[in-house]
Structure 1
């Protein structure tokens, strides 16, 4: 089986963490990644590595991190052979859920318009210039690249999905050694009270946690004093104190636990010690924002809504509505 040389891949990140005084975290990461890649490798690892290695090496590439589709560009047109290699490699990393991306004019129309979410959130962020950022549940790293494009000093995304990591590496193949990394670990794998980040994002994670208050406390532990939390999650209409707990599935998702009202969410943030929490956006998710595409051919939102009443999920719950909240660690 092909092996992933994670020691070389993360060497620059680890050295930067050591230089910043986080030697203990690096030791923990080395143990976690040894277990992940060496002791119990994923059965699809060889296939994903092969797909990544098919991507052609193109001299003189550049990447536009600020365009709606993260755009990898070349000073000259690709040859037919390079174009075929590119298509084969990128399609070997399907399904593509978070994006979009543009590799040398091959447009990856992902399931989610993650650029729409960024456009809703970005106007309310503190200046990201020079900040150290953590993106929890980052998927393929689309938002990590957008954060770097806004001037972040270093961005670390975490997501346990290994396919997401290889999709991220397909972009990084063309960026050089920029200070943006994706670690295939879970939130609970982070040391407690790390206090290493100026801004922590958690977008699309809270409703997957059995204990949302514990998740908020874990997020607070990642932040330095005065750091900023950017939280996006599913919500429902209702008074303070109201939260929907699905009987089983929500929109065909099994691992959905709590969908609070906005006022309840603000109360949770207050009780877990945040300050100045404010709802900056509430938007209903539509089948234009989340849908099946040629790059994600499985069922999507249109299949998870009531066909007779698209304002409800197929289980009869209120349709997906997402709120973004920004708060500060005192």
Structure 2
């Protein structure tokens, strides 16, 4: 197995062609250059291992998907043999750790680190009808929420996340479903062309606190939306008045790349200052060790290891424990 076995041109050729047909030639050209650099100039050392795991999954042709329930679920109209189930388990375990989900592959349930379905259940009641909408999911991980968006009737879903393991986990689902209007691009937010103004809804869930300049991130998100488009923003917040924001001294919950945790009122002010309208907080929920935890499919440290063992309302650094807010706003 060599890195050449991953044919990125075949994988991404259709989405590049689609962008060109949609009048987004500048994005198509830029994306092709980025993918060339990612997979040819500086290929990841684990690329061949992940491709081998993907190749291990049994080939099945009569596959259906249920995308409107807690686990993204694949079912086969023909029962899997014992050998096929063994291949399935081996391939899926070769793509560990599984962080976002859950997924159910033909009866093999992947209990992911995050119960991402809980977040979806908190967010989805407040969304505009997704039917037929063109959607961007920034920092989409393995694409779990992208599949749920498609299950809500979205016309086109594009997720972006630079993590290549996430990409192969996404392929493990999409390869069974064929030509469905959903893609995951292994790029960062800053890799997108400025002011695309092409999406009806843009999601940014669990990204803002990783940005050194949160206002610039909000402006980038605004630039992806058409006029009247909807932003769905989910991020860590802290209790406090308008104007208050926590900047950790070093780590927050053992994460180094956490920069700003605003109060909910501060977050609304940020959205107002960056030109969004009708911003409203629709949910504020503490993250618990039932929602984020180690599992047999993600065996590394998780939230229980990042909280103060004597006071689980605080992180190990002594900061307020994780509190997540969801805000919805529109682009004028």
TM-score (normalised: structure 2): 0.99
Listed as ranges, the matches of 1:110-149 within 5 Å are 110-149=112-151
Write the deviation string for residues 104-145 of structure 1: whole angstroms up to 9, x where unpaired. Answer: 000000000000000000000000011100000000000000
Alpha-carbon separation, structure 1, partners of 2:3 and 2:68 = 34
Select the residue among 262, 265, 284 that pairs with 2:267.
265
Matched, 1:314 2:321: no
Q: Which moved more, 1:210-219 or 1:18-27?
A: 18-27
2:71 and 2:103 in contact (8 A); partners too = yes
Per the TM alignment, residue 59 of structure 1 is displaced from its structure 2 partner at its CA by 2.2
Listed as ranges, the matches of 1:47-62 within 5 Å are 47-62=49-64
Select the residue among 8, 11, 16 that pairs with 2:10.
8
Listed as ranges, the matches of 1:131-280 within 5 Å are 131-280=133-282
2:16 and 2:32 in contact (8 A); partners too = no
1:132 and 1:155 in contact (8 A); partners too = yes
Per the TM alignment, residue 2 of structure 1 is displaced from its structure 2 partner at its CA by 2.7
Secondary structure of the 1:83 match is: helix
Per the TM alignment, residue 55 of structure 1 is displaced from its structure 2 partner at its CA by 0.5
Alpha-carbon separation, structure 1, partners of 2:316 and 2:105 = 36
1:63 and 1:174 in contact (8 A); partners too = no
Secondary structure of the 1:10 match is: helix
Alpha-carbon separation, structure 1, partners of 2:237 and 2:165 = 28
Per the TM alignment, residue 11 of structure 1 is displaced from its structure 2 partner at its CA by 2.1
Write the deviation string for residues 188-243 of structure 1: whole angstroms up to 9, x where unpaired. Answer: 00001111100000000000000000000000000011000000000000000000
Per the TM alignment, residue 67 of structure 1 is displaced from its structure 2 partner at its CA by 1.5
Secondary structure of the 1:86 match is: helix
Structure 2 counterpart of 1:44: 46
RMSD of aligned alpha carbons:
0.6
Alpha-carbon separation, structure 2, partners of 1:288 and 1:143 = 19
TM-score (normalised: structure 1): 0.99
Alpha-carbon separation, structure 2, partners of 1:112 and 1:321 = 15
Write the deviation string for residues 117-176 of structure 1: whole angstroms up to 9, x where unpaired. Answer: 000000000000111000000000000000011111110000000000000000001111
Per the TM alignment, residue 304 of structure 1 is displaced from its structure 2 partner at its CA by 0.4
Per the TM alignment, residue 14 of structure 1 is displaced from its structure 2 partner at its CA by 1.8
Displacement over 2 Å in runs of 4+: none
Number of matched pairs: 330
Per the TM alignment, residue 23 of structure 1 is displaced from its structure 2 partner at its CA by 0.9
